[in-house]
Structure 1
Amino acid sequence: MNPVELPRPVRPAPVDLPRPVRPAPVDLPRPVRLAPLDLLRLGLVGIRTRRLRAALSALGISIGIATMIVVTGIPAASERALLAELSALGVNLLQATAQPGDDGITRLPVEAPAMVARIGPVTTTSAVANTNTVVRRSDWIDPRDGSGLTVLASEPSLPETLDARLRTGRYLDAGTERLPTVVLGSVAATRLGIVDLGRADSPTQVFVGDEWFTVIGILEPLPLAPEIDRSALVGWSAAEAELGFGGHPTVIYLRAHEPAIEAVRAVLPATIDPQRPSTVQVTRPSDALAAKRATEDSFASLFLALAGVALLVGGIGVANTMVISVLERRSEIGLRRALGASRGQIRAQFLTESVALSLLGGLAGTVLGAAATAGYSLLNGWPVVVPPGATLAGLGGALLVGVVAGGYPAIKAARMPPTRALSAP
């Protein structure tokens, strides 16, 4: 039987299928960036719509900043008044006195005052010298009765150095130091029975040595140098011409910058008398200097502590306000997110509101604190002191408080899902 040949399968011709058409790319809109002015307007929406809450919140931060300025300004005014009183006690005053040497001579070199004036921190200097002369009310009194008074040759700069004040008349100057004129200390004037300078045609005179000297001034009591109160002061040149004075000073007074007062004291003996430094006795700085420095340190610590507490209280108030504001405005946050606002925009909105609220409170607190400080200082007769550092710290602190206090509420608002925010009651 012959095999049957089956037909071969016909292969269909290839069909060209259309290639899939790729859709054209669509440019999605980019997130809109808020301009700084728009961001500020948006941040102020909460303040404008909730004025009472914003005012109370700003009041909280303003009270904190005002407290910081008051607790720094009032102690600063009190400190300045106290330091002025301490400075009047001669905290920067030194006195160098000649002591007998091995040769029995008690005097300082003639050029010593000029050498002391060359020391850098020294601000002013003056010198007096004992003329070993007696002052009497008249030439009828026993020459040996000097009433316990001393006749000193004085430089014209003595009142400036010792902060001396005149009860009446004037002090020795370039026009009178060469003339037979004298200025009396307060005790010397009392012992000599002199209360005024007399008339122009008959001035008051005293007998110094063997010469008549005209009284041209009387000093007020001088607590820093009581030896001057018991002295009759004549001009340096007049003492050399009329009293046989040799020009060697006995005592040198000087003032120097307070921070360098100990260093100046250390170099004074060798500066005044390089050949015999051991014969120069220098007073130690006043105990008031130590009290003044202790006062400055204690006040500085007090300022820092009180300022920190005030800022902390204000910051807590602003943080509490911003957290409540986020909870109350959840529906607003959800609506803005649903309309396309990004998390960064929500975060920037609440952060701007917090900073603006703090700055408004900071400005109001600065003005209030400065006014309260000035009023209290004037009431107590103190100098008005509003530390610039406290003012800048108040504004800077308000800004910092706004950033820190608004940071967490802003992040919380930005993370809130739109659906949850919109469904919030």
Structure 2
Amino acid sequence: MNRAATAARPIRLSALDLVSLGWFGLRARRARAALSALGIAIGIATMITVIGIPASSQAQLMRELSALGTNMLQVTAVPDRQPEARLPAESVGMVRRIGAVTRVGAVANTHTSVRRSDRADPADSSGLTVLAGELDLLPAIDAHISHGQWLTETTARFPTVVLGAVAASRLGVTGVPSGEDDSRQVMIGDRWFTVVGILATVPLLPEIDRSVFVGWPVARSELAFDGRPTVLYLQAAEPAIEDVRAVLPETVNPAQPADVLVSRPSEALIAKRATETAFSALFLALAAVALLVGGIGVANTMVISVLERRTEIGLRRALGATKGQIRGQFLIESTMLALLGGVTGSLLGSAATVAWAAGHRWPVVVPVSATLAGLGGALLVGVVAGVYPSMRAAALPPTEALGSG
């Protein structure tokens, strides 16, 4: 009696056994499986591509908008309230203490003239401004040196000068010689200053191009500079730019915040934020439709597979396979088919995005969330598409299934 019960007991199949059965079903019908997986792959590839290409384009646009100074502010004194329009000497250090501020640089108008030589008219400054500049000014204004070098702790103490792009042109300085005997000099006030560098054009700040920069210490010793800055240039984290702007007047001049003028954030920041929130629902809808079509293809393949394999199903049932095992076999087969399409589609979509972005010289952005969503969507499609066929296969009576063969 016990031996009969043991013989009638169905054999338990492990998950690995079910996976092997499912994979065997796909290998036995490779062409049909490949076409069904292709439907899923097209849907996943479409979804990743229509998300990745706009994301890469958006990253390029964000880069271009950021180059327009979306995180930059300028602080000046209100001219109507202060005849000399200067800020407190300690204002730079106070601004640096603001947590969201990443860079700060200061300049001060020395109210002196610059000339090409001592023979030029002292009243003719060629429309140029002589500014005392801090050593960390260039990063704060995103400026770069085209010739020579910027002021250092050593050169800032001596009569040396760095010219803006326009200033160099108007003063007739086209380069910075490397030899000491062939140095280029300009006259500031009644003192000769040696040119040690020329700035590249700063598109966002044309006033920088028309300026001549001397060191903070030499401005004090040679140009009667009192150490009070005229303009502060600062960069801050974009999400906090409005909050930083709101606290700057009290930070720069706590005693008289009304005497401080802070520029408005760049209009490009508004455009950048609008671009970040914009998304193409149409592209997502197209990807969803492609995914749905692929899911229907998988379901169709599995239903036909059940009809064609009725004899196999009946034989397995007659040999002791349970309804759960039959159902699990076809459900896993459907899921593997969709997963195969999902992996293929993810690779194709990522490759298409990389190729398109590289061809347009954009930053390559393949959103991980889109890839994971694509694989998850493929698994979901496989499960949903395989539920009905698996249940239909499990419901076939063994005698009917064998009789149909």
**TM-score for both structures, normalised by structure 1:** 0.90
Partner of 1:356: 336
Q: Distance in 1 between matches of 2:5 and 2:380?
A: 41
Q: Distance in 1 between matches of 2:73 and 2:86?
A: 18
Q: What is the aligned counterpart of 1:241 among 221, 243, 246?
A: 221
Equivalent pair of 1:60/1:361 in contact (CA under 8 Å): yes
Q: Distance in 2 between matches of 1:66 and 1:413?
A: 31
Q: Deviations over 1:79-124 (max 9, x none)?
A: 1111100100011111111113646452111111111111111111
Q: Distance in 1 between matches of 2:108 and 2:229?
A: 4
Q: Distance in 1 between matches of 2:28 and 2:82?
A: 93
Shift of 1:227: 0.9
Does the residue aligned with 1:212 lie in a helix, a strand or coil? strand
Unaligned 5+ runs, structure 2 = none
Does the residue aligned with 1:82 lie in a helix, a strand or coil? helix
Partner of 1:88: 67
After superposing the two structures, state which structure 1 stretch, 371-380 or 103-112, moved more.
103-112
Does the residue aligned with 2:254 lie in a helix, a strand or coil? coil
Partner of 2:5: 27
Equivalent pair of 1:72/1:307 in contact (CA under 8 Å): no
After superposing the two structures, state which structure 1 stretch, 173-182 or 286-295, moved more.
173-182
Partner of 1:320: 300
Equivalent pair of 2:36/2:294 in contact (CA under 8 Å): no
1:276 maps to 2:256: yes
Q: What is the aligned counterpart of 1:119 among 79, 98, 102?
A: 98
Equivalent pair of 1:356/1:402 in contact (CA under 8 Å): yes
Partner of 2:121: 142
Q: Distance in 1 between matches of 2:152 and 2:299?
A: 68
After superposing the two structures, state which structure 1 stretch, 257-266 or 215-224, moved more.
215-224
Q: Distance in 2 between matches of 1:103 and 1:66?
A: 63
Partner of 1:266: 246
RMSD of aligned Cα (Å): 2.0
Q: Distance in 1 between matches of 2:82 and 2:335?
A: 79
Q: Distance in 1 between matches of 2:68 and 2:193?
A: 32
Shift of 1:257: 0.9
Equivalent pair of 1:338/1:418 in contact (CA under 8 Å): yes
Partner of 1:287: 267
1:343 maps to 2:323: yes
Q: Distance in 1 between matches of 2:23 and 2:14?
A: 14
Does the residue aligned with 2:61 lie in a helix, a strand or coil? helix
Q: Distance in 2 between matches of 1:24 and 1:404?
A: 41
Q: Deviations over 1:4-62 (max 9, x none)?
A: xxxxxxxxxxxxxxxxxxx9996353332211111111111210110111111111111
1:106 maps to 2:63: no
Q: Distance in 2 between matches of 1:147 and 1:403?
A: 77
1:418 maps to 2:398: yes
Paired AA for residue 154 in structure 1 = G
Q: What is the aligned counterpart of 1:211 among 175, 182, 191?
A: 191
Q: Distance in 1 between matches of 2:2 and 2:195?
A: 112
Compared CA separation, residues 310 and 87, structure 1 to 2 (3 A): farther
Q: How does 1:382-397 map to 2 (within 5 A)?
A: 382-397=362-377
Partner of 1:371: 351
Compared CA separation, residues 43 and 213, structure 1 to 2 (3 A): same
Equivalent pair of 2:39/2:341 in contact (CA under 8 Å): yes
Q: Deviations over 1:113-139 (max 9, x none)?
A: 111111111111111111111111111
Equivalent pair of 1:77/1:385 in contact (CA under 8 Å): yes
Q: Distance in 2 between matches of 1:318 and 1:399?
A: 11
Shift of 1:312: 2.7
Q: Distance in 1 between matches of 2:379 and 2:279?
A: 26
Unaligned 5+ runs, structure 1 = 1-22
Q: How does 1:151-162 map to 2 (within 5 A)?
A: 151-162=130-141
Shift of 1:191: 1.4
Q: Distance in 1 between matches of 2:73 and 2:240?
A: 12
Compared CA separation, residues 378 and 25, structure 1 to 2 (3 A): closer
Q: Distance in 1 between matches of 2:12 and 2:19?
A: 13
1:232 maps to 2:212: yes
Q: Distance in 2 between matches of 1:345 and 1:72?
A: 39
Compared CA separation, residues 381 and 174, structure 1 to 2 (3 A): same
Compared CA separation, residues 249 and 24, structure 1 to 2 (3 A): closer
Equivalent pair of 1:86/1:289 in contact (CA under 8 Å): yes
Shift of 1:304: 4.8
Question: Comparing both structures, which one devotes a greater share of its residues to helix?
Answer: 2
Paired AA for residue 249 in structure 1 = P
Does the residue aligned with 1:177 lie in a helix, a strand or coil? helix
Partner of 2:155: 176
Q: Deviations over 1:126-169 (max 9, x none)?
A: 11111111111111112111111111111122211111122211
Equivalent pair of 2:22/2:329 in contact (CA under 8 Å): yes
1:165 maps to 2:144: yes
Does the residue aligned with 1:196 lie in a helix, a strand or coil? coil
